[in-house]
């Protein structure tokens, strides 16, 4: 419990560091760059394709004519750009968050290691490729568990516990592996997973609940289209900040647990007080054969 709470408050404190705040804005920068690049090369082509699709539908043409009869004007000129924006934006958001997710966790774990554990040996028990395979395998297992557990969601209490439990398991598997991949060996990582599985699962569940906060901005953006441009970037930033907090939380927890586990395996050293050590050395010198022969020579 002490390690759980200590790592939590340390992660909160690290979230206000300039490097963490700069990393939290990285997906917004990637989103803007991707949007400008795709808009420059494919905007006209996508807009023409959507307009042709709208004009080819007889039912939609009747709807446009009916709306124009009420003085709505040419809505197709307004609807086509909105369809393109609302269709492409989720894809760009997912791509940006995936890129940041791959890059952010190692950077944040390195930040924790540099500031708190500069002397902790790095055994490189994992690589970027193994991390991606681990994340992919864990995600597939979580999806299978979600699908198999869907019939149980009909039971009112279970729907409140099963999905958070599955996503919490996925979160702790991915973030704990990334936090330990550079510092721990394979055997150490397995031992830490065995010892701290319960606490890390709880951390994953709480992180999953925190990740639901951006959904409020998504829902508001869907209801208030006029604020879509403001609410969607705000939701992305909040989600990235929550992800950064979760990575820092697991980083502090896992590296502290690793340091303590290594300290347990060190050979015990006998710490003797200086006075007792001096007396022991003096007694050995006085009782050694050389000292006895010197004493006999002096007597003769």
**How many domains, the chain?**
1
Residue 276 lies in a domain: no
Residue 127 lies in a domain: yes
| 116 contacts: CB under 8 Å, gap ≥ 6 | 252, 255, 256
Within 10 Å of residue 153's Cβ, how many Cβ atoms?
A: 13
pLDDT value of residue 92 = 67
pLDDT value of residue 278 = 46
- Residue 38 sits in which domain range? 2-262
Q: What is the mean pLDDT of residues 80-107?
A: 70
pLDDT at 94 over 70: no
Residue 95 lies in a domain: yes
Residue 273 lies in a domain: no
pLDDT at 214 over 80: no
Q: Tokens 């510092």: give the residue.
A: 183
Residue 278 lies in a domain: no
pLDDT value of residue 8 = 93
Higher pLDDT, residue 191 or 23: 191
**pLDDT per position as a tens digit, 116-159:** 998 888 888 877 788 888 878 888 888 888 888 888 877 777 77
Mean pLDDT score of the chain, rounded to an integer? 75
Q: What is the mean pLDDT of residues 62-86?
A: 64
DSSP 164-198: HHHHHHHHHHHHHHHHHTTTS-HHHHHHHHHHHHH
Residue 2: name the closest of 253, 261, 263 by CA: 253
Residue 77 lies in a domain: yes
pLDDT value of residue 60 = 59
Residue 209 lies in a domain: yes
∠ at Cα 239 (235, 244), nearest 5°? Answer: 150
Q: What is the mean pLDDT of residues 13-31?
A: 84
CB burial of 227-263 (b: ≥16 within 10 Å; e: otherwise) equals: ebeebbbebbbbbbbbbbbbbbbbbbbbbbbbeeeee
Residue 81 lies in a domain: yes
């Amino acid at each position: 419990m002490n390690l759980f709470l200590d790592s939590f408050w340390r992660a909160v404190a690290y979230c206000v560091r300039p490097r963490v705040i700069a990393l939290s804005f990285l997906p917004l920068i990637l989103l803007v760059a991707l949007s400008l690049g795709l808009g420059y090369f494919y905007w006209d082509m996508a807009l023409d394709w959507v307009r042709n699709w709208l004009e080819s539908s007889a039912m939609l043409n009747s709807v446009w004519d009916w709306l124009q009869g009420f003085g709505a004007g040419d809505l197709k000129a307004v609807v086509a750009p909105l369809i393109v924006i609302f269709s492409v934006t989720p894809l760009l958001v997912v791509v940006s968050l995936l890129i940041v997710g791959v890059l952010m966790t190692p950077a944040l774990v390195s930040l924790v290691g540099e500031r708190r554990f500069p002397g902790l040996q790095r055994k490189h028990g994992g690589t970027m490729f193994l991390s991606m395979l681990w994340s992919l395998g864990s995600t597939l297992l979580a999806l299978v568990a979600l699908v198999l557990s869907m019939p149980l969601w009909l039971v009112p209490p279970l729907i409140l516990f099963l999905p958070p439990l599955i996503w919490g398991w996925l979160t702790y598997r991915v973030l704990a592996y990334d936090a330990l991949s550079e510092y721990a060996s394979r055997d150490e990582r397995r031992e830490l997973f065995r010892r701290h599985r319960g606490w890390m699962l709880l951390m994953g569940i709480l992180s999953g609940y925190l990740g639901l906060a951006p959904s409020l901005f998504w829902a508001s953006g869907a209801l208030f289209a006029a604020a879509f441009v403001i609410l969607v970037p705000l939701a992305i930033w909040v989600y990235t900040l929550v992800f950064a907090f979760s990575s820092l939380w697991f980083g502090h927890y896992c590296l502290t647990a690793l340091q303590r586990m290594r300290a347990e395996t060190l050979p015990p050293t006998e710490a003797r007080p200086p006075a007792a050590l001096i007396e022991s050395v003096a007694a050995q010198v006085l009782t050694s054969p050389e000292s006895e022969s010197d004493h006999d020579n002096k007597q003769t």
